[in-house]
Structure 1
């Protein structure tokens, strides 16, 4: 108790996020970001757990772009759809056909109506015209042909509901599946509409079973669920997928399934399930508070998604499909052609075929795998929030930072594990975002309070490091100050030497104060780039900058960051020169050398003055490489060790060199561009250069000359190709040297 009293301010601070999320869970204070985060969690969990396997029971006959190209623009004549229906049932032996398309207007494409008008008007007295038309009428009434094809066959028509100010209606609705009296006066939140677009009367009479194909679009524009039953004008109608499933299992009666008396749902007035009753057997389909089900997506969707077999409608209509290919299959006729506007944004794809959402629901119903947010979700959320919040509030203040991290991680892991277990094992979709945000915020507030109130000594330690280390990295070091030391140590780092050229000439033309201001401005811009890429400034030496990457904070990609910085610095100098030209100031040049290797890094110097710096042979080589940049006409020279650790760039090998003080030759390179931004012209230039360099090192001068000539045509301004042309001209005069390793010796620093 004494410990709890001591830490009561931290306990109170930690309880604050619990209060807010409980208000959200209970509906008193709706926090939109939590709902959005729950949607993101659900979408991610769905994508991770999708089976991504083919369900061979369901086939989608697709009015795709191929079909439109072969048969013609949509809508097709009903005579073609009659032929398609006959083909599916008579020759392909399909078990059931669901139509995710609408036939709200009569088909007059045959011209029958115009012929009838002629028979009653201009051609009324034409001998035999009326008699001939009477014989042709049966074949020209496409709606009648289609209706006859649908008659007495297991077909489910599709239609849609809509809501607008006028409540427009068109076509004939099917019979409702449930009456208001069955709901016992409960205020159930059915999805409700005031209008509809249904099929014309001849088709509705021939195929009396129909289902709406509306989906529910969430606030973020994503389709995650489909209402199984919806309300219109006090009557209750079934969806296309439910209607097809009921026809498959013998058309059982539909009844509401009310929740049982439970502690967490005693006052819940919604439906828990839809009951399908037939012959003394009952099948319960769970639904959420909108009498909807989440779509159990199997894969990414579409013909290439691998979840369902897609067959072009043109192939079916033309008879190219082998006989009985669809025997006992559930067939859905739908569209994926972009112009037909039946593509949806879903958690698994931004252009997901609407027809496949119904296929997913049918598969889920057949397998008994329907995911739903249960009626007791709010009670579950409140209980888990209170338990987790109290554990964190009363335990975190008494723990060290590492143990506090472990406890918070354990609480989060328990919540995530329980949530996933209920999802995978029982198909329950329960809120998780509020619990995660509460745990993370409680931990953050607790640690922040401890930092600002109880960790002054740590900040003093950070200030000591700040004497040596760039301020940008101090914040990272503060998090774990015990891991850092000023003691010298050998580490693999990347060092940079950057030399400004042209300042000698400028000093002859400018006043000292002007030159100082100019130099400071250039250094400031280059220093900002180094710091932005996590580099440590070692020192300024006249018009030279020295920096390194990888210490004091470990940076695994130190070579990549160093190369990236060097390229950005070269670009910055080009921009500076544009400003100089506009102002009439002489331009400056830049030379950068980069090397990666083992270096000694630490706090070094005398008792009077010390600094955090690097020393060693690898540092000396970096300095030598900077001096070579001018010799090869490039702004950046990089060693092979750095190049190997920075594969994300396109590299041009400049030469093999043996610098002063080194017996071993090293390959040097110039970064041409990020690898993913290399255009075709520069890629071709690199290939030609590789051939030239190979010929050069083989002392094969003729092909080398040809390739160098081609390179000069590709890039006439590049000094490197002129340099090698002059070398080849000189070396032609010498006899073949079998001991030559292709390296160039440099005796000066």
Structure 2
């Protein structure tokens, strides 16, 4: 069954004009939900009868007159209107199969309401207008209208034949039919057959599935690129069908679907990311800098506080002589003193070198690198952070001296190794921390800095992993709790920044310490005298000079290998 548009009224010629007309047709156009006229029902139903559109009637009349002239006929015969159907196998269910009307050799594509899309050439005035008063007064040359189809209509608002068209808000109804007549005769009508609904649905389903699966997998930038690419492809497909196949594929639903999927995914991603950042900030915010929390939020499932084994670089620092400092300052000044120190040191650890601040133990600091966020340069970052902390102490001392406060001296121990890291503690209190032998060694090294008169001591594992820093070998020691001796070092600075005189001193020192372990006491004493001239007041050289003197008085046993043993922590 064909679903004709059913009308309760119609617009047509006045009876006086119709009496002299060779054909007749209705003026009605279909108005879409947005109030715009885009289609004209080529056939309509009115009170059980079927009437053709004015534009179709003009085309039939034109074709009939052409045939009469061509074949020298005296009687005018109008061509019949025939239906064009899709092949029988494609006609199913509610699909009638009606896709076009045939008038002579012309084919008029129609939709499921037997309406044709109007091929608007442009805004109002795309066809020439001639005043009927000028024709009546013989002001218009005959040649201007000769051999042309002339439509008589109105364009003044007072006669109520103005419509809204896609190309103009105010559009004369007579020009709508002029566009349709020209499109039928030129064969330029666009076609929206009923099966295009299925094509649109297929595009929506296919595009929707692809974008639904693809967008969540991509970063926001690439999701935006994918969405724009999808919209571009849909638009290009629509334009190709419009330009080369004269088919109308609605674009709005596909674009709306694409934009909706993108917006929903971006909004969901934003809220999930915000929630993840908030949760991670609650868990790790006191330990790691905000930028690392942002990195963790990109893949929150990768980061948990559950204990795990990991290779970390651990740093301990402590203020030397804090008891005497606290006795020299009032409680208010002591609070300012320690707060300023801890703030500056924490900024270096967390801010500049992106370390994890484990805890404050009074005036001491514990920090580590490579957890919870992976840091491939964690040994280097730990050593450079320690060097920066010593330089910052010099800056703080200038401020403290100006205030009349005691000078600040700190010792730092740095060590690398495999430890257990995660949320650990008791049922009453948990903390994200690191535990293990490498942690204990780092703490012992910090405690030995005062003995050797240096600011930083680094374990041999860390030393082996850092390639662009100059190190000074200090000693081989056995710390409490470890049976094996470890070699300890003092970092002097980046290779590109260490002065030549320091390198010359290091060369002599390393020769000296080899002589020391070989019990060449005379050679060691001479070298130490030269070193003390190069660096007067160096506590390390004074320490070794005392050690040599002691070993001259009480020679070490034959099995002595130059290892210093510490029984205390």
TM bucket (normalised to shorter chain) is 0.5 to 0.7
Matches within 5 A, 1:130-279: none
Query: Residue 478 of structure 2 contacts residue 485 of structure 2 at CA under 8 Å; is this kept in 1?
Result: yes
Residue 577 (structure 1) aligned with residue 397 (structure 2): yes
Counterpart position of 2:524: 704
Residue 528 (structure 1) aligned with residue 347 (structure 2): yes
Distance (Å, rounded) in 2 between the aligned partners of 1:570 and 1:393: 59
CA deviation string 1:96-150 (max 9, x = no partner): xxxxxxxxxxxxxxxxxxxxxxxxxxxxxxxxxxxxxxxxxxxxxxxxxxxxxxx
Give the secondary-structure state (helix, strand or coil) at the position aligned to 2:310.
strand
2:312 to 493, 498, 515: 493
Following superposition, the deviation at residue 495 of structure 1 comes to 0.6
Counterpart position of 2:104: none
Counterpart position of 1:562: 382
Following superposition, the deviation at residue 699 of structure 1 comes to 0.6
Counterpart position of 1:720: 540
TM-score, scaled relative to structure 2: 0.54
Query: Residue 289 of structure 2 contacts residue 350 of structure 2 at CA under 8 Å; is this kept in 1?
Result: no
2:407 to 571, 575, 587: 587
Q: Once superposed, what is the RMSD of the aligned Cα atoms?
A: 2.8
The verdict on how the C-alpha distance between 1:502 and 1:477 changes in structure 2, with shifts beyond 3 A counting, is: same
Distance (Å, rounded) in 1 between the aligned partners of 2:462 and 2:317: 16
Distance (Å, rounded) in 2 between the aligned partners of 1:453 and 1:402: 13
Counterpart position of 1:553: 373
Counterpart position of 1:511: 330
1:462 to 277, 288, 292: 277
Task: Count residues with an aligned counterpart.
Answer: 327
Query: Residue 492 of structure 1 contacts residue 599 of structure 1 at CA under 8 Å; is this kept in 2?
Result: yes
Give the secondary-structure state (helix, strand or coil) at the position aligned to 1:468.
helix
Residue 644 (structure 1) aligned with residue 474 (structure 2): no
448-457 vs 502-511, which moves further:
448-457
Give the secondary-structure state (helix, strand or coil) at the position aligned to 1:629.
helix
Give the secondary-structure state (helix, strand or coil) at the position aligned to 1:630.
helix
The verdict on how the C-alpha distance between 1:594 and 1:449 changes in structure 2, with shifts beyond 3 A counting, is: farther
The verdict on how the C-alpha distance between 1:744 and 1:449 changes in structure 2, with shifts beyond 3 A counting, is: farther
Give the secondary-structure state (helix, strand or coil) at the position aligned to 1:491.
strand
Give the secondary-structure state (helix, strand or coil) at the position aligned to 1:620.
helix
Give the secondary-structure state (helix, strand or coil) at the position aligned to 2:530.
helix
1:666 to 486, 492, 517: 486
CA deviation string 1:328-366 (max 9, x = no partner): xxxxxxxxxxxxxxxxxxxxxxxxxxxxxxxxxxxxxxx
The verdict on how the C-alpha distance between 1:393 and 1:521 changes in structure 2, with shifts beyond 3 A counting, is: farther
Query: Residue 657 of structure 1 contacts residue 666 of structure 1 at CA under 8 Å; is this kept in 2?
Result: yes
TM-score, scaled relative to structure 1: 0.41
Distance (Å, rounded) in 2 between the aligned partners of 1:447 and 1:646: 46
Return 5+ residue gaps in structure 2 as ranges. Answer: 1-205, 230-260
The verdict on how the C-alpha distance between 1:490 and 1:729 changes in structure 2, with shifts beyond 3 A counting, is: same
Give the secondary-structure state (helix, strand or coil) at the position aligned to 2:451.
coil
Following superposition, the deviation at residue 400 of structure 1 comes to 4.4
The verdict on how the C-alpha distance between 1:747 and 1:399 changes in structure 2, with shifts beyond 3 A counting, is: same
Counterpart position of 2:217: 402
The verdict on how the C-alpha distance between 1:570 and 1:457 changes in structure 2, with shifts beyond 3 A counting, is: same
Query: Residue 502 of structure 1 contacts residue 587 of structure 1 at CA under 8 Å; is this kept in 2?
Result: no
Matches within 5 A, 1:246-395: none
The verdict on how the C-alpha distance between 1:716 and 1:401 changes in structure 2, with shifts beyond 3 A counting, is: farther
Distance (Å, rounded) in 2 between the aligned partners of 1:590 and 1:393: 62
Counterpart position of 2:360: 540
Query: Residue 396 of structure 1 contacts residue 404 of structure 1 at CA under 8 Å; is this kept in 2?
Result: no
Following superposition, the deviation at residue 509 of structure 1 comes to 2.4
Query: Residue 599 of structure 1 contacts residue 617 of structure 1 at CA under 8 Å; is this kept in 2?
Result: yes
Distance (Å, rounded) in 1 between the aligned partners of 2:494 and 2:415: 18
Distance (Å, rounded) in 2 between the aligned partners of 1:589 and 1:397: 60
Counterpart position of 2:499: 679
Distance (Å, rounded) in 1 between the aligned partners of 2:443 and 2:309: 19
Distance (Å, rounded) in 2 between the aligned partners of 1:565 and 1:731: 37
Distance (Å, rounded) in 1 between the aligned partners of 2:207 and 2:552: 80
Distance (Å, rounded) in 1 between the aligned partners of 2:329 and 2:555: 52
Give the secondary-structure state (helix, strand or coil) at the position aligned to 2:438.
helix
Q: Pick 1 or 2: higher relative contact order, CA cutoff 8 A, min separation 6.
A: 1
Counterpart position of 2:553: 733
Distance (Å, rounded) in 2 between the aligned partners of 1:609 and 1:448: 42
Distance (Å, rounded) in 2 between the aligned partners of 1:552 and 1:521: 27
Following superposition, the deviation at residue 508 of structure 1 comes to 1.5
Following superposition, the deviation at residue 455 of structure 1 comes to 4.2
Distance (Å, rounded) in 2 between the aligned partners of 1:648 and 1:575: 25
Following superposition, the deviation at residue 471 of structure 1 comes to 4.2
The verdict on how the C-alpha distance between 1:725 and 1:405 changes in structure 2, with shifts beyond 3 A counting, is: same
CA deviation string 1:257-282 (max 9, x = no partner): xxxxxxxxxxxxxxxxxxxxxxxxxx
Distance (Å, rounded) in 1 between the aligned partners of 2:270 and 2:221: 20
2:298 to 447, 457, 479: 479
Give the secondary-structure state (helix, strand or coil) at the position aligned to 2:543.
helix
Query: Residue 656 of structure 1 contacts residue 667 of structure 1 at CA under 8 Å; is this kept in 2?
Result: yes
Counterpart position of 1:632: 452
Distance (Å, rounded) in 2 between the aligned partners of 1:406 and 1:516: 47
Query: Residue 591 of structure 1 contacts residue 629 of structure 1 at CA under 8 Å; is this kept in 2?
Result: yes
Return 5+ residue gaps in structure 1 as ranges. Answer: 1-390, 415-445
Query: Residue 600 of structure 1 contacts residue 615 of structure 1 at CA under 8 Å; is this kept in 2?
Result: yes
The verdict on how the C-alpha distance between 1:512 and 1:449 changes in structure 2, with shifts beyond 3 A counting, is: farther
